[in-house]
Each structure stands twice: as structure tokens, then as C-alpha cells.
Structure 1
Amino acid sequence: MTETPETGLATPSQRPRRLAVYRHARVTRLTHWINFLCVSVLLFSGLQIFNAHPALYWGQFGADSDPSIFELGADESRAGPPVGFARIGSSTFDTTGILGLSRNASGGFAQRGFPAWLTLPSWRDLAMGRRWHFFFAWLFVANLLVYVAAGLANGHLWRDLLPSWRQLRPRSLLQDVADHLRLKFPRGEAARHYNPLQKLTYLGVIGVLLPAMILTGLAMSPGMDAILPWLVDMFGGRQSARTIHFIAASLIVLFVFVHVAMALLAGPVNELRSMITGRFLISVEDKHE
């Protein structure tokens, strides 16, 4: 953008104009919102299931034979009111009011791993939580297969998500990290495409976290163990599979939070429009003399 000699202001023809580009195909947008629904329900129903035994182990047998590596609970052994705690390895943290011991509807405290407002349903009902979880787990898998098949067919996976060798160079990656830390987002033509960190993150989620979560979920199912007995051994035991499932799910939730935060910082209206209509507005400099 240039300035006029008299006023120092850009003339209308020299101001950046907004150009609408087609950024997301219909199938990408549809599977994106179905994924959002599935991940939300899976998170809340998964925490309902976890609350039935709020501890994680490494190995095959769990509570009776393997020490916990993560546990939520309430300590009622000392004088005074119980204290909620979160234990990671040998370190214990007071989490009263949030984890282990949280407020109930009557205003008192109830012993439960995660609070009621984070579980589906909000009351204790393991059977209903499992039904919600299993139904949306299979919907999630079916939706993921549609996304992958469509992405391979229309070139989205290899054209938009695979980083080029130039983008993988250390200098390019370090520059991209620096831009993200400074909240400097791409503009103009650069905004048409995913940056290297986005590509690597999406590939990590699609290629590592989602398969790990699906396979460990199957490994915890007695019915699937009868069909695929090697699945439990592949993860080092049923309790190890449960722990990996919890970690993978937690990383996916972290990804969602960062993803939403970046969309809000980059321009929520434009980002949301692109995922609803497919149209994304970019600024283009006019080249008039």
C-alpha cells in the first residue's frame, strides 16, 4: 500500500482488497463438525467411565498387582474434612473442589475423580456413559474413514497436509515457531495454505493420536480381545492400553483447545466462515501504478 504525496493516505485503488478463496471442500467441512461433536461427547462420557475407577496403571492387572501411575481421589484418613488429591507417580497434589473431591448439587462435597459438570451424564451412571461413549466412538471411526477416503480421492491429504522439503528445513520450522509465539499469522496468498506447524500437527493427530486412541479402545474391549488377542499384548497389557488411551485422548483435547485459540486469535469470523461456507477472505495488494 502506497501513500499520496499530498495527504499521506492510501488512495482507494491502492488499498488492499479482500478476495474470497475456496479453502475447505464440503466433505472436509462436514467431517470437521461431526468430529467436533464426537470428540465432545467422547470426552465427557469418557470421564464418566474413568470416574468408575479414577486411576491409571501400567501392566496387565491393575489395582491388585500394579502400582498406579496416576490417581484421583479423596483422603479421609486424617482429622478434619476429607481432602481431594491428584497423584502422579510419587507426587501428590491437593485438588480439593476440582479433582477427587468436588461440590455436588446440594452444595456439599462428593468424592469423584472429575467433577459432575465434566461428565456425561452429570450423575453417576457408568452404563449410560458407556453407551454414549461406544456409539459416538463408532460414529467417530466411520467419520474418520470418510474423511481419509475423501482426502485421498480429492488430494486434500497429500496436497494440503504433506509439508514440502523446503518447509521441513530447520530454518523454516524455527521461523514458523517464532511467528506463532509472536502471534504473527500469515496474510495474503500465504493464508491460502497451512503453515508447516499446522501440517505437522494435523498429521500427528491423524496419523498417530487417532490410531492410538482407536486401537487402545479396541484393546480394552473383551469382545475385540477374543477376535484380536494380540492387540492387548501389543500395548503391554489391558491397563497399559487404558493409560495410553487416556494420554492420547488428553493430547487430542489439548490440540482442540490450541486449535480453537489459534482460530480466535487469527480472526474468528473469517475462520468460522471458512469452515461453514468454505470461503476464506484474504487481503490482496493492488498493483496499480
Structure 2
Amino acid sequence: MAQTAAPIAGGDPPGAAARRYLFFRHPLTIRVAHWVNVVCLLVLLMSGLQIFNAHPAIYWGSISTFDTPALAITSDEAPDGRARGVVQVAGHSFDTTGVLGLSSVEGRQVERAFPAWATLPSDQDLATGRRWHFLFAWAFVLNGLVYLAYGIGSGQLRRRLVPEGDQIRGFGASIREHLALRFPKDEEARRYNVLQKLTYLVVVAVLLPVMVLAGLAMSPGLDAAFPLLPALFGGRQSARSVHFVVANLLVLFVIVHVVLVLVSGVFNNMRGMITGWFAIEPGHRHGKGEGR
């Protein structure tokens, strides 16, 4: 798809560094896939926490070693006799009262790994949580396949995920600019920077496929048909642990992503992802620009 630009104010041509202009950054398919992912990931997270609450511990291997979980979120009795939330990691316990382990339900403190407001549904309802999770998991996979097919066919995937030579050479400078909250301007702002590309590449090519495979490996039906699937992770409980850890890494990615959207210009970024048009600010940097 041809990339276009339009000046915000008359005068200089669109490519002139002295003027601010609009650049068509996100094609329709990319924008729709992005917002479908937002909905799917939110529902998957909340329903996943509902499922985790039914047995709030993870293990490594093929079976549940109840006495020695790798991680558990539970509650116990504090020295003063009151209930408290506790997270156990590798034999060490941490007081998480008010955050994890206990949840207030109708004025009562009940044992619940993640609070009721963070789960879908908010009540303890494993069956409904699974239905929500499986429905949106398939929606997420189908949406991802559409994104991949379009991205490969249009060349957008390569342009968005694969760093160019000059970007690799400027890797250190890009880190310093991000830490200083300085963002590209002029032609360099027409493409993702090297940190964006590498991060998105890891998410798309590593984290998401691993999360999907680990989720499939937890299915008894699929395990019976494809016994090598859980073996990829060292057992079904290991697959569950990997699924949980990768989900948390994706949450961390989303948090960082949202923070950078806010500090780099929320209105401009939101306009770009809703309408496709992104404002390029003038500056003194001149790089090899390309459409994204």
C-alpha cells in the first residue's frame, strides 16, 4: 500500500523538516487487528485469572507436587490472629495482604488469589471463566492469523519487525534516547525504532506462539491426540507454568507500551491507531524514513 503524507499547515512540502505534517502510518487491517487484540487480551487475562484462582499454584513437571509448588498465592494466619494474603515462591513467603491472597466479597475477607474485580466473572465460577477464555483464545488466534497473512503479503510485517542495518548500529543510542524520554522526529519518526522492532519481534515470534502452544498443551483432548505437545514443555504442569509466566510478561509489555504511548503523545498515537494518520514533528534528526 502506498504511503502518503499531508501537511497540517500550508507552505512547505510534506517532507520538509521545518513543517509538521501527517503521515499515513497504520493501514486499516493493522488498526482493526490491534483493537481486536486489545479486547481479546483483556478478556483472556481476566478469565485466565479466574481459572488460576481455582487452583492458585504452579508446578514444574507432569504432576502437581502440592507440598512444594514453584509458586502459590494463598492465605494464612498472621501472628496477631488475623488472616493475611501470602505469596510463596521457591520456599519463601511474602505478605501480600490487600493485593493478593485475600479478596473482599460482600464485606467478608475470603481466600482468593487474585481479587474479584480482576477476574471474569467476578464470582468464583471456573466453568464460565473457561468458556470466556476458550472463546476469546480462538478469536485471538484467528485475528493473529489474519494479521500474519496480511503482514507477510503486504510487506508490513518485515518493515515493522525487522531492524535495518543503521538501526542495529544505533542500538546504544536508541536505549539512551528512550531512557531520556526523547523520541524520533522528522523522517526517522516514519518507522519504528530498533527497540520497538526488537520488542515486537520477540512478542510476535516468541511470546505469543509459546503462550498458545502452552495453552494447547494443557488440553487433555489435544494431549491424547498429540502426546508430544506437553512433552515440549516437560509435562502438562510445566506447560501451565510457562503459560502463566508468559502471560505475565505480556502484561508487563502492555504496561510499558501504554506508558510510552502516554509520554510520547497520547493524542497523536491514538489518532494514528484509530484513523491511520500520525503527525511527524520537525527536528534535527535525519534518517532513512519508511512507512510503517
Deviations 1:61-117 (A, max 9, x none): 0134x721111001148661122101111221101122111222x222110000001
1:23 and 1:192 in contact (8 A); partners too = yes
How far did residue 189 of structure 1 move? 1.4
Counterpart selection for 1:180 from 162, 178, 183: 178
Residue type of the partner of 2:133? H
Q: Give unmatched runs, 5+ long, in structure 2.
A: 1-10, 284-292
Q: TM-score, normalised by structure 1?
A: 0.90
Q: In structure 1, what is the equivalent of residue 39 of structure 2?
A: 37
Please show how residues 1-289 of structure 1 align to structure 2 within 5 Å.
Answer: 16-64=18-66, 67-76=68-77, 80-104=81-105, 106-169=106-169, 172-284=170-282
2:215 and 2:243 in contact (8 A); partners too = yes
2:186 and 2:280 in contact (8 A); partners too = yes
1:97 and 1:109 in contact (8 A); partners too = no
Q: In structure 2, what is the equivalent of residue 6 of structure 1?
A: none
Max Rg structure: 1
Q: Give unmatched runs, 5+ long, in structure 1.
A: 1-11
> CA 1:15–1:62 in structure 2 vs 1: closer, same or farther (change >3 Å)?
closer
* Distance in 2 (alpha carbons) for counterparts of 1:262 and 1:79: 43
Secondary structure of 2:70's match?
A: strand
> CA 1:16–1:107 in structure 2 vs 1: closer, same or farther (change >3 Å)?
farther
1:60 and 1:240 in contact (8 A); partners too = yes
Residue type of the partner of 1:84? G
Residue type of the partner of 1:107? G
Secondary structure of 2:73's match?
A: strand
Q: TM-score, normalised by structure 2?
A: 0.89
1:96 and 1:102 in contact (8 A); partners too = no
Q: In structure 1, what is the equivalent of residue 4 of structure 2?
A: none
How far did residue 236 of structure 1 move? 0.2
Q: In structure 1, what is the equivalent of residue 290 of structure 2?
A: none
Deviations 1:152-198 (A, max 9, x none): 011001123210133223xx111111111100011121111100000
Secondary structure of 1:167's match?
A: helix
* Distance in 2 (alpha carbons) for counterparts of 1:282 and 1:168: 23
Residue type of the partner of 2:226? L
* Distance in 1 (alpha carbons) for counterparts of 2:17 and 2:199: 35
* Distance in 1 (alpha carbons) for counterparts of 2:270 and 2:225: 43
